[in-house]
A and B are shown apart, each in its own frame.
Chain A
Amino acid sequence: MHEMSLLESIIDLVEDEHRKQPFDRVRTIRLRVGALAMAMPESLRFCFAIIARGTIADGARLEIENVAGAGWCEACGRGVMLTERYGPCPDCGSARLRMTAGDELQLADIEVE
């Protein structure tokens, strides 16, 4: 349930950018959120308007690019899809698995005017 503070951090980053270069308002904020990143896109969307109120991002649209979980299994010697963190390889059951995607929690870009 830390989506509220993640959103506050996002607004902070946008305000940082606003201090660096002037713009009047933010039209769109684009995030990249991994499926295994401990943040729920629905909750981020739900809270966004409330957190953005009264900030430079007031009225902006939040777009979230979901990134699927993926890993590299040493035993299979190939990439596999992951639906949980620290779980075994979904194909062979091996624990020798390295996460390669799904951990993203990034502010990609903002559209401003």
Chain B
Amino acid sequence: MCAVCGCGTSHDGHGHGHDHAHGGGKFDFGAGLAGVHIAGLSQERTIHIERGILAKNDALARINRRRLRDAGVLALNVMSSPGSGKTSLLVRAIQDLKARRPLAVIEGDQQTSRDAERIRAAGAPAVQLNTGNGCHLDAHMVSHALDELRLVPGSLLFIENVGNLVCPAAFDLGEAFRVVVLSVTEGEDKPLKYPNMFAAADLLLLNKTDLLPHLEFDMAGCLGAVKRVNPTIDILPVSARSGVGLEALYDWIGARASA
């Protein structure tokens, strides 16, 4: 059983056996919990809850954030559409950074452990989270991955979210910063089409810049679109393949790791 979220415990069976028809034209006003009916006091009542639907995720995310901060770990939630080069970027960053600081990766995918295997082959411990039908990671999944990873102080943790520009934006994982990766092959209007993702990010990595000579990519238009939805976002053009721009990324991370 998980001590943080209580999962794995039975959901205290409410003894509702469904051997009766719901509604079914039967009105037994004495059959409530109290077993009596008092005039003017119906068994039926409205309970005002007024809670955010994501309140539980947000609470678990706060616990993750505190836990990571107390452990001296800088966590980055890396998000993008599928195929933008997230894993290739991480593989390259691990090869470049593993001599400088302890690293770890949480890999989110619908299926397979292929990405975690690529990360381990690059030289960093990795936990694979398979979401099955889920389209995003949530704070609960990440808390279990943190149990598994046993991070050492000073670690840099990359959380590679499920490839999806919509849903991951809504789920706080407890990360320190959010990084969105956009590859230049995807088109410059992505930030306007998927504004929530870009509005929620601290850093945009514009990847696959080595392909720019072969494309008609409107760089100014793209940067304008990003700034329109998020005026304060940092933007770094990079190429995971050639390595161009990666030192600037490592400086960006380093400045936040020591802060």
A: residues with CB less than 8 A from B are: 1-2, 4-6, 9-10, 12-13, 15, 17-19, 21-25, 27, 31, 38, 55-56, 58-59, 84-87, 95, 105-113
Contacts and interface: CB of A to CB of B under 8 A. Distances in A.
25 contacts: A2-B135, A2-B166, A5-B134, A6-B53, A9-B55, A13-B51, A13-B56, A21-B47, A24-B16, A24-B33, A25-B16, A38-B169, A56-B14, A84-B195, A85-B195, A86-B230, A106-B53, A107-B50, A107-B53, A108-B48, A109-B47, A111-B46, A113-B42, A113-B43, A113-B44
Interface in B157-199: 166-167, 169-171, 195-196, 199
Interface in B2-47: 11-12, 14, 16, 18, 22, 32-33, 42-47
Q: Which 7 A-B pairs have the closest CB atoms?
A: A2-B167, A59-B22, A86-B229, A113-B44, A86-B195, A109-B48, A105-B53
Given A23-B33, A86-B195, 6 more contacts: A4-B133, A6-B53, A9-B55, A24-B32, A108-B50, A110-B49
Contacts of A38: 166-167, 169-170, 196
A12 B56 contact: yes
Given A24-B32, A108-B50, A113 B45 contact: yes
B interface residue count range (under 10 / 10 to 19 / 20 to 34 / 35 or more):
35 or more
Contacts of B166: 1-2, 38
A26 to B, nearest CB: 9
Contacts of A86: 195, 199, 228-230
Given A18-B14, A38-B169, A2 B45 contact: no
A110 B46 contact: yes
B141 to A, nearest CB: 11
A17 B52 contact: no
A75 to B, nearest CB: 15
Nearest to A10: B53
Contact of B138 (A5, A17, A59, A87): A5
Contacts of A95: 228
